[in-house]
């Protein structure tokens, strides 16, 4: 998606278009864009808050395992931000 398309999508979301909010949450989750997710969560998106929560849990799990963030132990599904064990 181009930067111009993102600007239009953000404008729609700011006007209350829930489909645009959902698309932004999905795109931000795929990109790992925590700043965008925080902004959306601050604006009231429970989906963005959920993705942030799961991203934080996955990051902490990786740090606890001492794996430095590699995908050896977890393969993150960034669209839904749910980690699943590999192997």
pLDDT at 25: 97
In 1-87 the beta strands, taken as DSSP E runs, fall at 74-77, 82-85
Q: Please determine, for residue 55, whether its predicted confidence score (pLDDT) is greater than 70.
A: yes
Split into its structural domains, the chain has a count of 1
* Residue range of the domain that includes 45: 3-85
Instruction: Rounding to the nearest 10 degrees, give the CA dihedral for residues 19, 47, 81, 69.
Output: 120
d(CA 87, CA 83): 13
pTM for the structure as a whole: 0.67
Average pLDDT, the chain: 81
Which segment of 23-32, 46-55, 59-68, 70-79 scores lowest on mean pLDDT? Answer: 70-79
Cα(36)–Cα(42) distance, rounded to whole angstroms? 10
Q: In whole angstroms, what is the distance from residue 44 CA to residue 58 CA?
A: 23
- Share of residues in the chain with pLDDT > 90 (%): 59
**Span 35-52, pLDDT tens digits:** 999 999 999 999 999 999
Does the pLDDT at position 12 exceed 50?
yes
């Amino acid at each position: 998606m181009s930067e111009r398309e993102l600007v239009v999508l953000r404008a729609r979301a700011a006007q209350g278009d829930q489909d645009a909010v959902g698309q932004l949450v999905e795109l931000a989750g795929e990109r790992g864009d925590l700043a965008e997710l925080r902004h959306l969560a601050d604006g009231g998106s429970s989906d963005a808050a959920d993705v942030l929560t799961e991203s934080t849990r996955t990051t902490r799990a990786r740090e606890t395992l001492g794996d430095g963030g590699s995908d050896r132990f977890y393969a993150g599904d960034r669209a839904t931000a749910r980690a699943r064990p590999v192997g």
